[in-house]
Structure 1
Amino acid sequence: MCSVEQNPIFRDLSAEDPDPEVTEVESLCMNCHANGMTRLLLTRIPYYKNVVLMSFSCEECGYQNNEIQPGGAYAEFGVRWKLHVEQPADLNRQVVKSDYTRVRIPELDFEIPAQSQKGEVTTVEGIIARAVAGLTQDQASRRAEHPAAAEQIDAFVRRLQGARQLDKRWTLELEDASGNCFVENPEAPRKDSRCERTEFTRTTDQDHMLGIFTHEEVSDAPASNPSLLTPSDPSHNTYEQLVADEVLQFPTNCPDCNAPAATNMKLTKIPYFKEVVIMATVCDACGHRTNEVKSGGGVEEKGVRFEVRVASRDDFSRDILKSETCSMEIPELELEVGGRALGGRFSTAEGLLRATAAQLRTSPAWGTRGGRPPVYRGSWTPWRRSWSASAR
């Protein structure tokens, strides 16, 4: 058998790449209905995420169009952002919004519904500028045909321009069911005093909007391919098999470059605690490595809080099991690692500190390239889930 070199599907965005692997597709121009050319580039913006860049151009009429689409997995939860715009610096905050981001300004009774605009990387002021441009593009003909409606739009545009000039304080609210939405924190790593971020569980309708369905909802799955839901071997993927086998390996995709990779999974028992599932993924294409620990049992009735005083070097060697929902705080350093940050880990006190420092070095103040970075007082926000969510 001949070996085939695997390259990352999403490469770093760089002008030095000699072969960016641009895909060209002949497509219809929506302006003159002639044949144009669409170019697709799968790339990875440093410290952001995997994206698909699309560029269309028509030689007949000169029409051009550019779009950006996320190339990664949806987050496990939806996200809501609430920014209190009080200073001119707030207008310059970076905002990343996907196709499923809903934008609201309650003070102006203004809303941009989800899926009404394409995803983009912009600023707070850019959101208002795009809204003003969209409202005023047909005002010339509207004033001639519908003068009353044109006057109402002009009045509302003046209110938007007032918000753009920051005549008074206002609030920007973003809601994204996909979880791929972000607002920059210019004060990072300190806590953002004017911006709040909360997560929410998606409804069934929102899951369907994103194309997420359960096996029960796919009614024709058993008829078309029963093996998708029912294993042929009764002992296949059972709990007993996980206990008996030493290491299970199954194919998946790299959470960083999306190239084919293999994930190893092992069920083990931590002494004096419980059984856990250890998963590790190594990508041969880009070298990305992930390891994660998940509980092998159910959720306990009550939460638990541990306080460890590190007084000697021996305390750094204490074994620590950190779950996905575990938060960590070091008051002396004013450091707070939020829930689901760093993923689940079975490590030591020193190992957690090293992992936190490593992600701080690779994650800038306004985003991250992958995973869930540590959060200083809730200021930084993760972009992508770790392996467990991206391979679901």
Structure 2
Amino acid sequence: MSTIAQEHVRGKSVFKDLSADDEDWQPTEMESLCMNCYQNGITRLLLTKIPFFKEVIVSSFSCDKCSWSNTEIQSAGRIQEQGVCYTLQVRSKQDLDREVVKMDSATTKIPELDFEIPPFTQKGSLSTVEGLLDRAVAGLEQDQAARRAADPEVAGKIEAFIQKLKKLKDVDKEFTVVIEDPSGNSFVENPVAPLKDEALTVSWFRRSIQQEKQLGLRADDEPEDEEPPGNDLDTMRSEVLVFNTNCPECNAPASTNMKLVQIPHFKEAIIMATNCDSCGHRTNEVKSGGATEEKGTKISLHINGPSDMTRDLLKSETCSVLIPELDFELGMAALCGKFTTLEGLLTDIKDLVVAKNPFVCGDSGDSDRMQKLKEFGEKIEKIIAGDMRVHIILDDPAGNSYLENVYAPEADPEMTVETYTRSFEQNEELGLNDMKTEDYLEDN
């Protein structure tokens, strides 16, 4: 394989947006060995950018000699800060058509069959739920002929299990598909976007040290109990700390600045900003500088006009955003922590749900769904312009989010702030439960 030119790596167009209009952007073809007949076949590589997933490498192999073919997808972007877990309740055959991006680092589970595909045992794929089942069946059937000859009893048990997997596609009864990816780069389609998907639960988690070693983020010989070096708190308050990183867009060398700041009438927060000189990409992220509060916080604001758009807003990574009038809910960690304005948050929501939705872009987008998302984007624009009166709710179980009170120190007549006791499940998501889940279930 030819090497990628250095000027391409440093911000040029090695990875392009996937588009049917760019006829000059063709896959790279090369001869490679067929692992089925050991003759030469053709591998095609396409380096592209799918919105929301950043850069990906799509590869396809085909052999004219034995007709064997294979496709896979690999993430060429950065590993996300947290792992992601998708839990899908498959209730109808329509759910089998949901598109799925499954990276090689993901674990796939079907609890009802006590079935699990461990990480790094399959290549990454862009498929559907039905495709995941077919791939699992194909993997089990691969060596059945040899098993029948060597151990008919084991082959019979596997055959019975294969039939159970195939039976799932009839959806005679509900079953669960869980995709847990410590890299955070897998994805399961929400066909009713921008509305909340009642059949799909998305949660984010901190990687274990073992998972970080599997992803190459830690050295294999690094002690399990070793903590990363900390920074002096007084230094963080008085100075801007600079770290060398890579740009999440073009992968060129960049720098991340970090500063601990005091937000008026609230608390300290850590603001991080990444600037890339090569492609001009800029990002900012905010994390709470304090501990998790004793109670969760729910902030509700009645938006009356454009003047509300200038309110300062701190959304932590644990905060959900709801707009009841649009029947819209954005779960925690769908957007990273941000210190912005209300207008900035609404713009980010529009970009995430509409512009960066990978399953409604290009020629493959469903026309009805694209129309719904277009209408949703237009409603967000009306809210920003002050032409639509709605409520926006920030629900943060960690209590680390904030919305500016423009009447401070007096009460804000358009805003309510409530505190509440977290549920067991919320404590579990925040990693605050000392008691094991099974003990809790026994007690309740």
- TM-score, with normalisation over the residues of structure 1? 0.71
Q: Does 1:339 align with 2:332?
A: yes
Alignment match of 1:254 (pick from 247, 250, 254): 247
Q: Is the 8 A contact 1:10 1:258 kept in 2?
A: no
Q: Does 1:363 align with 2:356?
A: yes
Per-residue deviation, 1:88: 0.9
- How large is the Cα RMSD of the aligned pairs? 4.2
- 1:256-280 C-alpha deviation (Å, 9 max, x unpaired): 2323334455555444445544443
Provide the secondary structure at the position in 2 that maps to 1:329: strand
Per-residue deviation, 1:90: 1.1
> Unaligned 5+ residue runs, structure 2?
1-6, 362-379, 381-391, 394-444
Per-residue deviation, 1:117: 1.0
Provide the secondary structure at the position in 1 that maps to 2:48: strand
Alignment match of 1:118 (pick from 108, 112, 123): 123
- Which whole-Å CA distance do the structure 2 matches of 1:63 and 1:161 have between them? 23
Per-residue deviation, 1:364: 2.1
Aligned counterpart, 1:320: 313
Per-residue deviation, 1:61: 8.5
- Which whole-Å CA distance do the structure 2 matches of 1:330 and 1:61 have between them? 55
**Residues 292-303 of structure 1 aligned to structure 2 (within 5 Å):** 292-296=285-289, 300=293, 302-303=295-296
**Residues 96-175 of structure 1 aligned to structure 2 (within 5 Å):** 96-175=101-180
Alignment match of 1:197 (pick from 198, 202, 207): 202
Q: How many residues align?
A: 353
- Which whole-Å CA distance do the structure 1 matches of 2:52 and 2:84 have between them? 20
- Given residue 130 of structure 2, which amino acid in structure 1 is its aligned partner? E
Provide the secondary structure at the position in 1 that maps to 2:171: coil
Q: Does 1:208 align with 2:213?
A: yes
Q: Is the 8 A contact 1:261 1:282 kept in 2?
A: yes
Identity %: 49
Cα pair distance change 1:32/1:273, threshold 3 Å: same
- Which whole-Å CA distance do the structure 2 matches of 1:330 and 1:130 have between them? 39
Cα pair distance change 1:271/1:58, threshold 3 Å: same
Per-residue deviation, 1:120: 0.7
- Which whole-Å CA distance do the structure 2 matches of 1:63 and 1:311 have between them? 62
| Greater RCO, CA 8 A, separation 6+ | 1
Q: Is the 8 A contact 1:142 1:150 kept in 2?
A: yes
Q: Is the 8 A contact 1:7 1:259 kept in 2?
A: no
Q: Is the 8 A contact 1:189 1:365 kept in 2?
A: no
- TM-score, with normalisation over the residues of structure 2? 0.64
Aligned counterpart, 1:281: 274
Cα pair distance change 1:189/1:360, threshold 3 Å: closer
- Given residue 309 of structure 1, which amino acid in structure 2 is its aligned partner? H
Cα pair distance change 1:206/1:262, threshold 3 Å: closer
Q: Is the 8 A contact 2:241 2:259 kept in 1?
A: yes
- Which whole-Å CA distance do the structure 2 matches of 1:90 and 1:139 have between them? 29
- Which whole-Å CA distance do the structure 1 matches of 2:237 and 2:220 have between them? 26
Cα pair distance change 1:12/1:260, threshold 3 Å: farther
- Which whole-Å CA distance do the structure 2 matches of 1:263 and 1:367 have between them? 32
Provide the secondary structure at the position in 2 that maps to 1:307: strand
Q: Which moved more, 1:129-138 or 1:337-346?
A: 337-346
Per-residue deviation, 1:103: 2.0
Aligned counterpart, 1:91: 96
> Unaligned 5+ residue runs, structure 1?
220-227, 231-236, 369-373, 378-392
